[in-house]
């Protein structure tokens, strides 16, 4: 058992939160190089924190020792979303997951496929009509918003446009509470960003409660019938499911997908992805590996423990960094290269080494639905368009918080193919 490399510093003065949040990828790279270790300690949120940047340590944290490292009950997610499957611990988290799993499996997924197809067509069919480059991220975020509000809340943009736009705006305002200082202040003619987000949450909860009471169809009707712990649980989970979090994650991955397959030099890759669903699956795994939508996740050590042979004392924070884990050279050869073929070669069957949406018993509850979203949208793009950056010399430097995407939103020209070209 070894001491964690690095230095947790002293309280307040030694805190590195600002440096981390400014550029988490550079923060980790510098310390990995300095300590020659993919596990190290620093101070984050004024707490000694172990940073996890290796596959081995991530799997220990999220799988083998998940009961020793818990979600932080004071986390901002709890303040913004309440007690949900994402924020709770122990038996409560297990019971919530058990109840909610039925919403994201089997016939529930199958019944969603026609709607997902129709939304992809409606949102993506006119990408070339205006004759000018499109901001892909904005298009894909709208697509994601239509998908989640239609599937989870039975609010469809084409049927209830005013209500759809109202909820979309409230979700965006509510989301901003996650990325603002958690200070609930109001004054004449002014409110803090966090206070405004909480107001948006209250308005969303009113809409959600009305839906749960009066709409017995689809996802919202099934959720309302589940044996959940208390009367608030269904509404709090609907708030989580319709939040801007999911549309932004989808927009992030679809933007990275279009950038990775952009231009004439990727024409053959696009053709293979269009004709071979297995190859498209490998492409999407590689997109997720290189450009995970979320930077990672945080836990608290509930007892003295170890990760990758290093001692992690009780009450230490632990942060796994998906970008760094996914580029662990011990697992992924040429880790910075886009190589979909790795998933049919050395890394075949190793999808469980990714942690874009968590891992282990506390991973994202809806990965199958997310994959359906992504494959349907990507298949539509591949079957109807070629595309390239326009202009070609754009700055594609990524920002990683709160969701990964190029800091300057890229614009892309979509050219119809086949029958769509006529």
| CA angle, residues 64, 66, 69, in degrees to nearest 5 | 130
- Could you report the per-residue pLDDT of 46-71, keeping only the tens digit for each? 999 999 999 999 999 999 999 999 99
C-alpha radius of gyration, the chain, whole number = 22
Q: Which residue has the tokens 């705006």?
A: 169
Residue 69: what pLDDT? 97
Domain ranges of the chain: 2-154+215-336+361-416
Spatial contact of 42 and 7, defined as CB atoms under 8 Å apart: yes
Please tell me the distance from the alpha carbon of residue 175 to that of residue 136, in angstroms, as a whole number: 20
* Mean pLDDT computed over every residue of the chain: 92
Q: Residue 134 is encoded by which pair of tokens?
A: 């499109």
Q: In this structure, are residues 357 and 246 in contact, taking their beta carbons and an 8 Å threshold?
A: no
What percentage of the chain has pLDDT greater than the value 70? Answer: 95
Does 318 or 73 have the greater pLDDT score? 318
For residue 208, pLDDT beyond 80: yes
pLDDT at 420: 64
> pTM for this one?
0.94
Neighbours of 422 (CB within 10 A): 5
Overall fold of domain 2-154+215-336+361-416: Cytochrome p450 (1.10.630)
Return the higher-pLDDT residue of 341 and 185: 341
Residue 392: CB atoms within 10 Å: 9
- Give the pLDDT score at 210: 95
pLDDT value at 216 more than 70: yes
- pLDDT number for residue 262: 98
| Residue among 65, 78, 87 nearest 301 (CA) | 65
Q: Which of 389, 379, 388, 385 is nearest to 120 (CA)?
A: 379
* Nearest-angstrom CA–CA distance, 176 and 29: 28
* Lowest pLDDT segment from 39-43, 147-151, 222-226: 222-226
Q: Are 150 and 122 in contact (CB under 8 A)?
A: no
Coil, strand, or helix at residue 172? helix
What pLDDT, on a 0 to 100 scale, did the predictor assign at position 179? Answer: 63
Length of the chain: 422
pLDDT for res 195: 83
Angle between helices 245-260 and 277-290 (to 10 degrees): 110
Coil vs helix vs strand at 159: coil
Nearest to 166 by CA among 200, 118, 189: 200
Q: What is the pLDDT of residues 221-259, one digit of tens each?
A: 999 899 888 889 999 999 999 988 889 999 999 999 999
pLDDT at 186 (0 to 100): 52
Report the pLDDT averaged over residues 250-273. Answer: 97
**Would the pLDDT of 335 be above 90?**
yes
Residue that wins the pLDDT comparison between 181 and 398: 398
CB 248 within 8 A of CB 401: no
State residue 202's pLDDT score.
93
CA 72 to chain centroid:
19
Helix (H) / strand (E) element for 200: namely helix 193-214
CB of 35 closer than 8 Å to CB of 1: no
Sole residue written with tokens 């026609």: 114
Q: How confident is the model at residue 188 (pLDDT cuts 50, 70, 90)?
A: very low
Find tokens 């006529």 and name the residue: 422
Q: Categorize the per-residue pLDDT at 181 as very low, low, confident or very high, splitting at 50, 70 and 90.
A: low
Q: What number is the average pLDDT over the span 214-226?
A: 91
What pLDDT was estimated at residue 189? 39
Decide if 259 contacts 266 (C-beta within 8 A): no
Instruction: Give the rounded percent of residues in the chain with a pLDDT score beyond 90.
Output: 77
């Amino acid at each position: 058992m070894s001491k964690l490399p690095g230095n947790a510093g002293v309280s307040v003065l030694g805190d590195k939160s600002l440096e981390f949040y400014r550029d988490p990828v550079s923060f980790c790279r510098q310390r990995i190089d300095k300590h020659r270790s993919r596990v190290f300690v620093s101070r984050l949120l004024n707490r000694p924190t172990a940073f996890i940047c290796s596959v081995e340590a991530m799997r220990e944290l999220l799988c083998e020792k998940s009961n020793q490292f818990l979600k932080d009950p004071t986390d901002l997610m709890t303040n913004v979303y309440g007690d949900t499957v994402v924020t709770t611990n122990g038996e409560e988290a297990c019971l919530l997951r058990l109840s909610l799993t039925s919403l994201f499996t089997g016939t529930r997924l199958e019944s969603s496929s026609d709607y997902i197809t129709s939304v992809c067509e409606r949102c993506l069919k006119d990408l070339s009509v205006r004759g000018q480059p499109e901001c892909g991220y904005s298009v894909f975020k709208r697509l994601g918003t239509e998908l989640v509000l239609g599937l989870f809340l039975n609010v469809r943009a084409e049927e209830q446009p005013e209500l759809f736009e109202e909820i979309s705006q409230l979700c965006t305002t509510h989301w901003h509470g996650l990325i603002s200082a958690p200070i609930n202040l109001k004054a004449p003619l002014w409110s803090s960003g966090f206070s405004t987000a909480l107001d948006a949450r209250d308005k969303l909860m009113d809409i959600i409660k009305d839906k749960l009471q009066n709409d017995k169809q689809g996802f919202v009707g099934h959720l309302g019938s589940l044996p959940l712990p208390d009367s608030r649980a269904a509404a709090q989970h609907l708030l989580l499911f319709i939040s801007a979090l999911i549309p932004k994650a989808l927009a992030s991955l679809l933007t990275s997908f279009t950038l990775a397959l952009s231009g004439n030099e990727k024409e053959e890759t696009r053709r293979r992805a269009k004709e071979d669903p297995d190859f498209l699956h490998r492409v999407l795994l590689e997109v997720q590996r290189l450009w995970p939508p979320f930077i990672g996740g945080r836990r608290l050590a509930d007892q003295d423990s170890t990760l990758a042979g290093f001692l992690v004392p009780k009450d230490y924070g632990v942060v796994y960094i998906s970008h760094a884990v996914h580029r662990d050279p011990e697992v992924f050869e040429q880790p910075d290269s886009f190589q979909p073929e790795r998933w049919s070669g050395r890394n075949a069957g190793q999808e469980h080494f990714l942690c874009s949406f968590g891992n282990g018993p506390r991973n994202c509850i809806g990965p199958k639905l997310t994959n359906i979203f992504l494959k349907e949208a990507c298949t539509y793009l591949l079957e109807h368009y070629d595309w390239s950056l326009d202009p070609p010399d754009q700055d594609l430097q990524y920002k990683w918080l709160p969701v990964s995407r190029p800091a300057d939103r890229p614009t892309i020209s979509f050219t119809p193919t086949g029958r769509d070209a006529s």
